[in-house]
Amino acid sequence: MGFFRRKKKTEYTPTSWMIKRECLNLIFECAKSSFPNEFGGLLRVDTESKDTIIEVIILPGTISGDSHAIFQMHMRPIDFSIVGTVHSHPSPSARPSDADLHLFSKYGKIHIIAASPFNEESWKAYDYSGKEVEVAIV
């Protein structure tokens, strides 16, 4: 008797990403509110376009400190519109740490880091491998 292998369903990954201005502003306000600790959340896209980030989900039990935001991933909802993570850096650097890169590689397609002073000039987005990607504000 042979074993049957199921084909993996190919996941859709947009070639370009967008984020709603209101969502980005919420990220900045959450980061400012958590300062000097890090803020963390999950990113949700519009289910029709699949390339526009429209919402931030705050997971219950997220632990924030001055150099970390620890997600309780077992608390994430079963929701296929969640595509990545967002967190803040209290410093002016939006460069991912080794811990950030590890998180990126394990969960999601797009990741945003908002750095101090938490404005449109102080954030960057990365793919699962830590490569910087452009995200248009709409």
What 3 state SS string does 24-78 have? HHHHHHHHHHHCCCCCEEEEEECCCCCCEEEEEECCCCCEEECCEEECCHHHCCC
Is 110 within a domain?
yes
Is 6 within a domain?
no
pLDDT in tens, 78-99: 888 999 999 999 999 999 999 9
Is 106 within a domain?
yes
pLDDT in tens, 97-108: 999 999 899 889
For the domain that residue 75 is a member of, what is the CATH number? 3.40.140.10
pLDDT for residue 117 is more than 80? yes
Is 7 within a domain?
no
**Which positions are catalytic?**
38
pLDDT in tens, 47-85: 998 999 999 998 765 666 566 676 666 667 788 899 999
**Which residue range forms the structural domain that includes residue 112?**
17-137
Give the count of domains, the chain: 1
Is 68 within a domain?
yes
Is 115 within a domain?
yes
Is 44 within a domain?
yes
At 8 the pLDDT is 46
Distance (Å, rounded) from C-alpha 39 to C-alpha 28?
10
Is 11 within a domain?
no
pTM of the model: 0.84
At 76 the pLDDT is 72
